[in-house]
Structure 1
Amino acid sequence: MLKLKPSISIVIPCYKAEHYIACAIDSALNQDKVDVEVIVVEDGVFDNTKDKIPCLPNVKHIQLEKNMGASGARNIGLAHASSGYVVFLDADDYFQGDLLIGLYQALLESQASLALGRCLSLHEETGKRVMFVPPYKEGELDVLKRWLEGCWGPGTCSILWKVDEIKRIGGWNEDFVFNDDGELVIRALLNGCKVAQSFSGYGVYRKHSSPSVSKRKGFDTFENQKCLEFYVMDRINSDRKFSDLILSLNEFRRINAQNAYKCGYDKIGKDFEKRWEYYGGKLPLSRVGKVPKNIYLILFLLFGMRDSEKIISLLRLYLTMIKTKFFNRK
């Protein structure tokens, strides 16, 4: 008697993705240990993406007249998923090895709501490759702490969800224009979802300057992070089992204050910094970026958080100018 393969839906939101979409679809169809249903949601018609989508029974193409953003496109794809499991694969990402069957088996064995797998971040401009490997038997609280403290991962291409569970928590938050994947994972784990890990295969998350999933950046980025901060704080206040997240949430505040100052949003940075100090923040626990922690601590003690970020930005600009002059002379 033939053993039936598990069925998994692959939702691919795409935006100006004609150069990448074929690779993403092929990588899904090549996951031969599972039966895949590919759902391509074209988030507004801006190029010739539709010409790259194969006409196959297990490949659906949904074309949106209006751009809804990545989360909106993902929710539409989720609504059309016919299997009990789903992965959200951005149009410029792809699967390698036995990723999907590994995630499925891990989720099934642990009776979990979502399974995290390995994820390779590929920086196209520099060629830099960074592999994320989920910590072995990492529990829900540890995942929450890690994500709040800035150690994100994996990308959406390496997370398998139970369809019923992601629908139970409300799907993707369409109000989020930044860190929408982080918000989804954090909200899931704060609402009773259980997590599992797999180490088979990996997803490839491409980083480049022209995203093929529509994203908006700017002021809303930090408004989204503030909403997430308040949501986590509400859950901590309403459920004692999340009290261990207090320090991690305060590190989340500090990281966002630092990033807001770096982007020139001084008022937002100050608001985050005030809440960080109110909840006991005195010295940074870590440094996000390439500046060594000890150097940053000295600058922080001498000039404070906001001016430290401005000094670091000026130093980076100065070093870039020196490098440019040096290479031009060569």
Structure 2
Amino acid sequence: MTATPETPRVSAVIPAYDAAAHIVGAVESVLAQTLAGVEVVVVDDGSRDATAELLAGFGERIRVIRQPNGGLSNARNRGIAEARGTFVAFLDADDRWHPDKLARQLARLESDPALGFCSTRTRVEDPAGRLLNHWDCPGDEALLETLFLRNGAVPGSGSGVMVRRDLFARVGGFDESLRSLEDIDMWMRLAAVSGYACIDEPLTLVVKHPGSMSRNLAVMRAAALRVMRKNRHLLPQATRGRLWRAGYASVLADFAKWEYRAGQRGRAMLHLAQGLALAPLSRGRMLLGLLAAMGAGRTL
């Protein structure tokens, strides 16, 4: 699709559910972009708080789509369907963008037609603004294979990625049957049909809320394994078995660490043992190191 004066080059899609505490900051970070003419589409996914009233304050600077609550993937898919831009960028309601983010991503994608999506290095903070982590760009290896080995390989994920909108006609929308990791599922499908780029600057800000990981461990574990099984066929046949085993072991190691930190030490040890049974030599060493740390009671 070629942008015309009536067609914005970029549409920003923001799903929002009971987001009154954060939505103004998210929308303002889009309106502050140095890239001119960005279409802002907010999907109010059945909010029961003051989200609608706060969005109304932006007037005609944004488009608000109101719908009954359908979940995050459903709201993103509605945003894609409503968006008019050649490119779509996603932003969660409690996250923020650096003013140059969209301009930098658009320039990168327009420089190479083979690139279908682009993310940026990401700064991770707690709600008080304290730095928790940086999510870095992946290396030069094939992204699809990297996603199987490391689910967080696309930094920023649901708030960091810009996609050519016409690619959704090829890969479909976000999987509305998934309760978690629906973004990883989408990046796997996109990586199978298009190139990927990452801007190596922290242009995306993600806010992590306390306790959110431990409350959802069971849901995330089930989703991680389901996403891997669903997309296993996308891997090169020659390396499919090896990558599947290594990826499965990596997921088990991640959950063992989270479970250990959440005080679920029995489950952590079980998942480490299962990972060791699957892991190739290099990941086996990593799992053994985690096992030793747990046995010594060290912080992971």
Asked if Structure 1 and Structure 2 have the same fold, meaning a TM-score greater than 0.5 normalized by the shorter chain, the answer is yes
Deviation, 1:63, is 1.7
Residue in structure 1 matched with residue 124 of structure 2 by the alignment = 121
Output aligned runs, 1:22-61, within 5 Å.
Answer: 22-53=24-55, 54-61=57-64
In 1, the alpha carbon distance for the partners of 2:226 and 2:37 equals: 38
Residue in structure 1 matched with residue 209 of structure 2 by the alignment = 208
* Residues 257, 269 of structure 1: 8 Å contact kept: no
Residue in structure 1 matched with residue 222 of structure 2 by the alignment = 223
Judging changes above 3 Å, is the alpha-carbon distance between structure 1 residues 22 and 125 closer, same or farther for their aligned structure 2 residues? Answer: closer
In 1, the alpha carbon distance for the partners of 2:121 and 2:259 equals: 32
Residue in structure 2 matched with residue 277 of structure 1 by the alignment = 277
Letter in structure 1 aligned against 2:67? L
Structure showing greater radius of gyration is 1
Residue in structure 2 matched with residue 323 of structure 1 by the alignment = none
Q: Secondary structure of 1:198's match?
A: strand
Residue in structure 1 matched with residue 104 of structure 2 by the alignment = 102
* Residues 7, 34 of structure 1: 8 Å contact kept: no
Q: Secondary structure of 1:184's match?
A: helix
Output aligned runs, 1:61-210, within 5 Å.
Answer: 61-65=64-68, 67-111=69-113, 112-125=115-128, 127-135=130-138, 138-139=140-141, 141-142=142-143, 144-145=145-146, 148-149=149-150, 151-155=152-156, 156-189=158-191, 191-199=192-200, 202-209=203-210
Listed one character per residue, the Cα deviations across residues 174-222 of structure 1 (whole Å, up to 9, x for unaligned) are 1222222222212321x312112224660111112498xxxx8353322
Deviation, 1:279, is 5.9
Residue in structure 1 matched with residue 13 of structure 2 by the alignment = 11
In 2, the alpha carbon distance for the partners of 1:175 and 1:265 equals: 30
Residue in structure 2 matched with residue 255 of structure 1 by the alignment = 253
Letter in structure 1 aligned against 2:164? K
Q: Secondary structure of 1:130's match?
A: strand
In 2, the alpha carbon distance for the partners of 1:62 and 1:185 equals: 25
Listed one character per residue, the Cα deviations across residues 58-105 of structure 1 (whole Å, up to 9, x for unaligned) are 41111223x222111111111101111111101111111311011111
Q: Which stretch shows the higher mean deviation, 252-261 or 36-45?
A: 252-261
Instruction: Tell me the C-alpha RMSD between the 2 structures.
Output: 3.5
In 1, the alpha carbon distance for the partners of 2:31 and 2:179 equals: 29
Deviation, 1:33, is 2.0
Judging changes above 3 Å, is the alpha-carbon distance between structure 1 residues 85 and 142 closer, same or farther for their aligned structure 2 residues? Answer: closer
Unaligned runs of at least 5 residues, structure 2: none
Deviation, 1:272, is 8.7
* Residues 114, 196 of structure 1: 8 Å contact kept: yes
Give the aligned length.
288
* Residues 41, 63 of structure 2: 8 Å contact kept: yes
Deviation, 1:259, is 5.5
Judging changes above 3 Å, is the alpha-carbon distance between structure 1 residues 147 and 130 closer, same or farther for their aligned structure 2 residues? Answer: farther
Judging changes above 3 Å, is the alpha-carbon distance between structure 1 residues 95 and 271 closer, same or farther for their aligned structure 2 residues? Answer: closer
Deviation, 1:270, is 5.2
Give the alignment's TM-score, normalised by structure 1.
0.73
Q: Secondary structure of 1:26's match?
A: helix
Deviation, 1:254, is 2.8
In 2, the alpha carbon distance for the partners of 1:119 and 1:78 equals: 23
Q: How many percent identity over aligned positions?
A: 20
In 2, the alpha carbon distance for the partners of 1:268 and 1:132 equals: 24
Query: Is 1:298–2:292 an aligned residue pair?
Result: yes
* Residues 17, 44 of structure 2: 8 Å contact kept: yes
* Residues 253, 272 of structure 1: 8 Å contact kept: no
Deviation, 1:276, is 5.7
* Residues 102, 200 of structure 1: 8 Å contact kept: no
In 1, the alpha carbon distance for the partners of 2:138 and 2:255 equals: 28
Letter in structure 2 aligned against 1:206? V
Judging changes above 3 Å, is the alpha-carbon distance between structure 1 residues 100 and 244 closer, same or farther for their aligned structure 2 residues? Answer: farther
Judging changes above 3 Å, is the alpha-carbon distance between structure 1 residues 260 and 154 closer, same or farther for their aligned structure 2 residues? Answer: closer
Give the alignment's TM-score, normalised by structure 2.
0.79
In 1, the alpha carbon distance for the partners of 2:254 and 2:134 equals: 24
* Residues 123, 133 of structure 2: 8 Å contact kept: yes
In 2, the alpha carbon distance for the partners of 1:28 and 1:126 equals: 19
In 1, the alpha carbon distance for the partners of 2:108 and 2:233 equals: 31
